[in-house]
Structure 1
Amino acid sequence: MNFLQFFVWGAWLISLGGYMGRNLHFEGGQIGAIFATMGIASLIMPGLIGIIADKWINAERLLGICHLLGASFLFYASTLTGYDEMYWAMLLNLMVYMPTLSLANTVSYNALENNRFDIVKDFPPIRVWGTIGFICAMWAVDLTGFKHSSAQLYVSSISALFLGIYSFTLPKCPPAKSENKTLLSSFGLDALVLFKRRKMAIFFFFSMLLGAALQITNSYGDLFLSSFKEIPQYADSFGVKHSVILLSISQMSETLFILAIPFFLRRFGIKQVMLISMIAWVFRFGLFGVGNPGEGLPLLILSMIVYGMAFDFFNISGSLFVEMETTPQIRASAQGLFFMMTNGLGAIMGGYASGAVVDFFSKYAIVSGQSQLISRDWHSIWLIFAAYALTIAIFFTFAFNYKNGLKTVKEK
């Protein structure tokens, strides 16, 4: 289940931007807007689907229904070439996909608990198959040549169809009828009381700002690497011909840095680990700005490796910070609020803002009634993103006062 859950996502998330830019000739802002639909879906649907799973429908059945609907939306998207239609197709797809991330965890936890497994010990080795599935999907669409065609959406659609059917065979996970969860709690909104605490308000504000950076390389990474195809000396390089495989090093790095988090938290504390994440984002974008698929390939590979630190260190340490700073009554809602700030509001802001930056450094011309890209200054684009991450890191250093390490907080 976990393998297919992320295979469905990995089949298009990294390569769709390149397909829309090169084949469909979408502008940077249009690509950013389509990726921003992930944030819109993350704001609304996880809480809504969570209410349905809590009260009326078995989680495994709801998981299956969502993936079957997603399969149909992905198939429909594969037939489209216009921006407006593609925008709504991907929005509908993500509105049924994003809730499945938590539904899959719910089904997993329920099955482990019913069979008397230790969730803390036994779930991580199961969840890692999700990352493996994501990487396998990236390699599949790259090696088959699907990365710049609508076939990547067919692959995702077929995978979602298979997972949707398979979900109905999973162990039953009935609604927890005894749970008295309010509507506000389901959407993470009863945790808004945390904004009264200056420290938490600052943390959530920076979560939103950093959330804006999370999907930038997913949106434009493949489009950037593919742009070197127009330069003869790079056209046949590995980084151009197998750009998605090169980008998959980021996901490999992510699995390794997850294992390093306990050491860094004990050694440096949560504030420093979150700050390390922000500095890592500076290097992630900056190395893209100075690297190339030729002699600069080591810089691109280093950027992929740094991604694991950039992504994991804030998301996981931030989640732990929320866990330690909230009471049991609103802890789940606080985690939902953290998700909404990063993957909801942050993703929406990042999608539209990054698209505006890309278009600012791009030149278009109308050819046969269609907008065609003439040139794009990727060097300046990536350096702007790096400067943004550096600015966040500097302000975070002075604005967020939190001196306790993980061990000290637990003892308190």
Structure 2
Amino acid sequence: MSIRTRLTVMNFFQFFVWGSWLISLGGYMGSQLGFSGLQIGSVYSTMGIAAVFMPGLLGIVADRWINAERVFAVAHFIAAGALIAATRVTDFQTFYSLMLINSLFYMPTLALSNSVCYNVLTRREFDVIRSFPPIRVWGTVGFIVAMWAVDLLGWTKSTNQLYLAAGAGLFLGCYAFTVPPSPPFLDETRKKKLASSLGLDAFILFRKKNTALFFVFSLLLGAALQITNAFGGPFLDDFKSTYPDSFGVQHPNLLLSISQISETFFILLIPFFLTRFGIRNVILFSIFAWVFRFGLFGLGNPDNRLYLLVLSMIIYGMAFDFFNISGSLYVEKVAAPKIRSSAQGLFMIMTNGFGAIIGGYGSGWVVDHFTSSGGVRDWPNIWFTFAGYALALALLFLLIFRNKRIETNQASTPS
């Protein structure tokens, strides 16, 4: 098996693990465990808590002392064990604790997976820029395949989704030991200060007003990323009494997977949009796409308005990709080369860390606010509230980043 094929398999299962439960677990927690909206949101916020510091900590271990593929493997073993344990509990506190453990060890593997690929490709003298994207795209395929498998097997409301994720994680942990080694670069990494290894150098970027405001928007937009992950499943499940035989109720993961499929197409459109409209406008398109993403959910249903839900899934590709890719490029522009990696890590912390925490708890509070004492959720008002939040961000972005100010930042570190 070639190096590229072996790394492709690793990326496929890396995201297969996540896709097995990320989209459907909210439905399981709501319908089978009886968790409230705030409780569901808090479980999803564990990924944000983990993303704040665990990638940096395990990254230090892989950079300084232990081969990256071994750290990657052990992290998957622990995360899988937590998922297996979570299948056997029904009380919120224990379930939350186990999912927190899973997040603490799964989230760092997202970065470690990239590190292993970069190290192996570099050591084998591949062109990383040309070789990695075709490998990474199979991660998205793995995520979609997992979603479809859980749906077609009827496991969207079952603990079997967690067993499937755990099984794939255990396989991947074992498989990682067969990947070419990625030993630490001892001379370079042991000379780095702890602050540099944790990515804290990049906080100097907050001394530039425009860049600081961008990172604040990254945090606020990051809050939107978790909303449909956590509540897309419960939303469709609540139609089981009115449209029990509809496609969306029968196959929620298949419907929601259109979002991930859309991602793969919008990634290909990013170069055209960036060239034609610039980073500022592409980010603005992303924010307005979130408005339509949530608004169409509020207007649609899985029966006679299924087309509105499908359109929302398609728009998700623009909402997700345009901000994440364009935002990353903006950070690349404003960060000096010596803090480039730290700056990208800071971008991830703001969006997938603090943003996800705020999104998890905030969305849970909104859902509970629009839930009656009898447990009936007012989904149109829930989604319109989220759409209003995104619209407010879009208007603020227009006011703050006027005259293409976001395009004219110089790539320098403030002194």
Task: Say yes or no: TM over 0.5.
Answer: yes
Matched, 1:275 2:275: no
Match of 2:217?
Answer: 206
Distance 1:408 1:298 in 2: 41
Distance 1:22 1:178 in 2: 53
Distance 1:78 1:252 in 2: 29
Match of 1:230?
Answer: 241
Matched, 1:86 2:95: yes
Does the CA-based 8 Å contact 1:281-1:389 persist in structure 2? yes
1:162–1:15: structure 2 CA closer, same or farther, 3 Å change rule? Answer: same
Match of 2:55?
Answer: 46
User: What TM-score do the two structures reach when normalised by structure 1?
Assistant: 0.95
Match of 2:17?
Answer: 8
Of all paired residues, the percent bearing the same amino acid is 59
2:262 to 253, 268, 287: 253
Q: Which amino acid in the other structure matches residue 307 of structure 1?
A: Y
Does the CA-based 8 Å contact 2:48-2:352 persist in structure 1? yes
Match of 1:368?
Answer: none
Match of 2:147?
Answer: 138
Alpha-carbon shift at residue 118 of structure 1 (Å): 1.0
Does the CA-based 8 Å contact 2:282-2:326 persist in structure 1? yes
1:229–1:317: structure 2 CA closer, same or farther, 3 Å change rule? Answer: same
Does the CA-based 8 Å contact 1:188-1:336 persist in structure 2? yes
Match of 1:389?
Answer: 390
Matched, 1:337 2:346: yes
Alpha-carbon shift at residue 193 of structure 1 (Å): 1.0
CA deviations over 1:252-300 (Å, ceiling 9, x no partner):
0001101110100000000000000000000000000000011100000
Distance 2:373 2:97 in 1: 24
Q: Which amino acid in the other structure matches residue 397 of structure 1?
A: L
Matched, 1:118 2:127: yes
Does the CA-based 8 Å contact 1:28-1:359 persist in structure 2? yes
1:37–1:402: structure 2 CA closer, same or farther, 3 Å change rule? Answer: farther
1:100 to 109, 118, 123: 109
Match of 1:370?
Answer: none
Secondary structure of residue in 2 paired with 1:36 = helix
Does the CA-based 8 Å contact 1:38-1:91 persist in structure 2? yes
Does the CA-based 8 Å contact 1:270-1:404 persist in structure 2? no
User: What TM-score do the two structures reach when normalised by structure 2?
Assistant: 0.94
1:402–1:106: structure 2 CA closer, same or farther, 3 Å change rule? Answer: farther
Does the CA-based 8 Å contact 1:289-1:383 persist in structure 2? yes
CA deviations over 1:40-65 (Å, ceiling 9, x no partner):
00001000001000100000011110
Match of 2:72?
Answer: 63
Does the CA-based 8 Å contact 1:70-1:96 persist in structure 2? yes
1:308 to 312, 317, 324: 317
Moved more, 397-406 or 294-303: 397-406
Does the CA-based 8 Å contact 1:214-1:311 persist in structure 2? yes
Q: Tell me which stretches of 4 or more aligned residues in structure 1 moved more than 4 Å.
A: 404-410
RMSD (Å), alpha carbons: 1.4
After the TM superposition, which residues 341-360 of structure 1 pair with which residues of structure 2 at under 5 Å, given as runs? 341-360=350-369
Match of 1:184?
Answer: 195
Does the CA-based 8 Å contact 2:210-2:406 persist in structure 1? no
Distance 2:168 2:237 in 1: 26
Does the CA-based 8 Å contact 2:147-2:257 persist in structure 1? yes
Alpha-carbon shift at residue 384 of structure 1 (Å): 0.1
Distance 1:134 1:155 in 2: 12
Secondary structure of residue in 2 paired with 1:221 = helix
Matched, 1:217 2:196: no
CA deviations over 1:190-211 (Å, ceiling 9, x no partner):
1111111011010000000000
Matched, 1:298 2:312: no
CA deviations over 1:343-369 (Å, ceiling 9, x no partner):
11111011111000000000245xxxx
- Mark the runs of 5 or more structure 2 residues left unpaired by the alignment: 1-9
Match of 2:381?
Answer: 380
Alpha-carbon shift at residue 329 of structure 1 (Å): 1.1
After the TM superposition, which residues 140-179 of structure 1 pair with which residues of structure 2 at under 5 Å, given as runs? 140-179=149-188
- Mark the runs of 5 or more structure 1 residues left unpaired by the alignment: 366-372
Secondary structure of residue in 1 paired with 2:372 = strand
Distance 1:136 1:364 in 2: 38
1:332–1:42: structure 2 CA closer, same or farther, 3 Å change rule? Answer: same
Does the CA-based 8 Å contact 2:333-2:409 persist in structure 1? no
Secondary structure of residue in 2 paired with 1:202 = helix
CA deviations over 1:105-140 (Å, ceiling 9, x no partner):
011111111222111111101000000000000000
Match of 1:36?
Answer: 45
Alpha-carbon shift at residue 181 of structure 1 (Å): 2.6
Match of 2:136?
Answer: 127
CA deviations over 1:160-219 (Å, ceiling 9, x no partner):
000001111111000111223322222222111111101101000000000000010000
Match of 1:324?
Answer: 333
Distance 2:373 2:139 in 1: 39
Secondary structure of residue in 2 paired with 1:24 = coil
Matched, 1:76 2:77: no
Secondary structure of residue in 2 paired with 1:363 = coil
Secondary structure of residue in 2 paired with 1:147 = coil
Secondary structure of residue in 2 paired with 1:236 = coil
Match of 2:3?
Answer: none
